[in-house]
Amino acid sequence: MGPTLPVDAVIAAAAIKAKVTPEQARATIAASLALLKKHAAGPQVEAVFAALEGGLALATSPEAAPKKSGFLGGLMKTAGGASGAVVADAMSMMDRLKKLGLDRVAVKRLLRSVRAQVQMATGQDLVGDALRTVPGVGAMLVDD
């Protein structure tokens, strides 16, 4: 196993970089890790959790749990296949983060910071590799 980063240190640094509160950063990173755990594929997501000490615990914590989606979200999950489920979960996450005062730009800044920190520590783009495996939206989230 390679170098690890404490997830709390990653959250603190990402909050500063993205100019958001630590609470906003924690909520975003917890929800994002939960989405990765649920929708990303095998070894790529395992590598992210191996690099982030405490990341798996955060991803499976009550604060990361997705909220129930409404009618449209439920329809997307059942009719949209794997990518429909991802999009519905991502929409639910964004709705929750919006209530905390975050927009897509802030969320992307936070995720870019996490990706850069993990890449600097490990020498590999583990977060980008995991995001690319997420059906339907992964490629849109990776700024290559």
pLDDT of residue 140: 52
Query: In this structure, is the dihedral angle defined by the CA atoms of residues 23, 24, 26 and 30, taken in order, positive or negative?
Result: positive
pLDDT (tens digit per residue) in 107-126: 999 999 999 999 999 999 99
pLDDT over 90 at 81, yes or no: no
40-59: average pLDDT: 94
pLDDT at 98: 92
CA distances from 11 to 69, 73, 87 (A): 26, 28, 24
pLDDT at 129 over 80: yes
**Mean pLDDT in the chain?**
84
Confidence of residue 1 (pLDDT cuts 50, 70, 90): low
Q: Domain segments of the chain: what residues?
A: 5-141
| Distance separating alpha carbons of residues 70 and 89, to the nearest angstrom | 11
Domain 5-141, second-level architecture? Orthogonal Bundle (1.10)
Nearest-angstrom CA–CA distance, 32 and 111: 8
Which is it for the CA torsion 98, 82, 132, 5, positive or negative? Answer: positive
95 near 70, Cβ under 8 Å?
no
Residue type, 70: G
